[in-house]
């Protein structure tokens, strides 16, 4: 025989433990806002269950009402955590209105005039509606890629199924409320206890997926400038080469080197050199299109990947990047450090295939030509004509 007070006690203990876990996550990752809502949901749910247990010792409906309010609030906070996890605005007004109207219905049909079916319907709506509103995020294309989101979505659907079964039972004349007790109510409490804990484990998996993704992103970002690093660049170039190999559509690459960067470091110090690298990054990004990728490959060397761009289009972008640096250098005064750059431009072709190092070598070849031409310039690598396979590519420079 299942004992309902014992089940509610287990509910309290388990949700206090979950609250402590979420509190630790919140402390360790203060920018992870969803954890704060899930922590609050666990503690509020535990408080609601603990308050509901007091009804065993107090002949008053107040503990039961407070307990119902706690469980409804816990459901709202859990749903708000899902919204925050997916960077959606938290529906404070909607959730507050849902919780208050639901609790008002419970009070009305318990204290105003006794009507078990309507009371339980109000209670069920308060628990289920916030979860239903958040369910669409878990089942969205963004949510379906996460195992934790899939688990959470399945658990929420199961919770809603139990709540609907309880509502149907009440409407058919069976009192499945907490005041009636009974084995049917105990079984439902056990099922909801298990599912609520599983839901929190789903949230934990979602958190782990998110944090692992953030760590992976950090591994692809240059610490100094905030743009992609060499590892990210090579991944992107491999993807673009494979895509071009399949479709035949070319793309282009710019290789950029800051002229005289060693002199800047030796004369003004490494802090000034770092400031120049960050300043160049900001200038270059103003001349790029959505989808273009700027990467720092090391030291004063940068690359720009230009998807679906011909050699002519890449040369135009190289000219724009070069011009913004020239204009900035012309406006320097006093202790400002002018930045000059050289750029090599190359386009993917069938001879490069799926080997990005060949494309980088072509762009480097053009870069050396730009340097040789007097720096503060860009040069374009022209592949050998198809009728002369034994000849090497040529380079055109631009002043």
Minimum mean pLDDT range among 78-82, 180-184, 280-284, 379-383: 180-184
- pLDDT tier at 282 (50, 70, 90 boundaries)? very high
What is the arithmetic mean of pLDDT over 204-226?
86
- Residue carrying the six token digits 């720096």: 375
Judge whether residue 342 has pLDDT over 90.
Answer: yes
CB 91 within 8 A of CB 80: yes
What is the arithmetic mean of pLDDT over 224-244?
93
Q: Is residue 10 classed exposed, middle or buried when 0-12, 13-18 and 19+ CB atoms within 10 A define those classes? A: middle
Hey, is 315 helix, strand or coil? helix
pLDDT in tens, 78-122: 999 999 999 898 888 888 998 899 989 888 888 877 777 888 888
What pLDDT score does 75 carry?
93
What pLDDT score does 391 carry?
41
Beta carbons within 8 Å of 349's beta carbon, 6+ residues apart: 250, 383
What is the arithmetic mean of pLDDT over 356-365?
94
What pLDDT score does 176 carry?
60
- pLDDT tier at 389 (50, 70, 90 boundaries)? very low
Indicate yes or no: pTM above 0.75: no
pLDDT in tens, 130-167: 999 889 899 888 766 788 999 999 999 999 999 888 88
Q: In what order do the strands lie in the sheet with 378-382?
A: 293-298, 301-306, 252-258, 341-347, 378-382, 394-398
Judge whether residue 388 has pLDDT over 50.
Answer: no
What pLDDT score does 154 carry?
93
Beta carbons within 8 Å of 348's beta carbon, 6+ residues apart: 240, 241, 244, 250, 251, 252, 253, 359
């Amino acid at each position: 025989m299942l004992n309902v007070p014992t089940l509610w006690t287990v509910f309290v203990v388990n949700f206090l433990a979950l609250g402590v876990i979420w509190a630790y996550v919140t402390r360790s990752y203060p920018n992870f806002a969803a954890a704060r809502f899930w922590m609050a949901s666990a503690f509020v749910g535990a408080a609601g269950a603990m308050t509901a247990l007091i009804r065993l010792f107090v002949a008053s409906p107040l503990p039961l009402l407070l307990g119902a309010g706690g469980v409804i609030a816990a459901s709202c906070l859990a749903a708000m955590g899902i919204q925050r996890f997916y960077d959606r605005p938290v529906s404070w007004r909607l959730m507050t209105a849902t919780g208050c109207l639901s609790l008002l219905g419970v009070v009305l049909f318990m204290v105003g005039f006794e009507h078990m079916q309507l009371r339980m319907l109000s209670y069920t709506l308060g628990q289920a509606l916030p979860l239903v509103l958040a369910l669409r995020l878990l089942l969205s294309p963004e949510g379906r890629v996460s195992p934790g989101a899939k688990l959470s979505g399945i658990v929420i659907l199961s919770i809603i199924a139990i709540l609907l079964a309880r509502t149907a039972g009440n409407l058919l004349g069976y009192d499945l409320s907490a005041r009636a007790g009974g084995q049917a109510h105990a079984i439902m409490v056990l099922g909801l206890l298990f599912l609520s804990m599983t839901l929190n484990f789903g949230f934990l998996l979602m958190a782990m997926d998110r944090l692992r993704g953030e760590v992976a992103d950090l591994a692809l970002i240059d610490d100094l400038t905030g743009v992609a690093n060499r590892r990210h660049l090579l991944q992107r170039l491999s993807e673009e080469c494979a895509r071009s190999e399949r479709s035949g559509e070319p793309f282009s690459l710019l290789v950029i080197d800051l002229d005289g960067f060693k002199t800047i470091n030796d004369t003004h110090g490494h802090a000034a050199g770092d400031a120049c690298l960050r300043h160049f990054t900001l200038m270059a990004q103003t001349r790029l299109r959505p989808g273009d990728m700027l990467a720092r490959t090391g030291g004063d060397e940068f690359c720009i990947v230009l998807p679906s761009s011909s050699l002519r289009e890449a040369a135009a972008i190289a000219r724009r990047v070069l011009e913004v640096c020239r204009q900035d250098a012309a406006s320097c005064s006093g202790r400002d450090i002018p930045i000059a750059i050289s750029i090599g431009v190359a386009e993917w072709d069938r001879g490069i295939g799926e080997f990005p190092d060949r494309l980088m070598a072509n762009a480097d070849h053009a870069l050396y030509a730009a340097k040789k031409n007097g720096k503060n310039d860009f040069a374009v690598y022209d592949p050998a004509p198809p009728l002369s396979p034994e000849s090497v590519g040529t380079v055109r420079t631009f002043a």
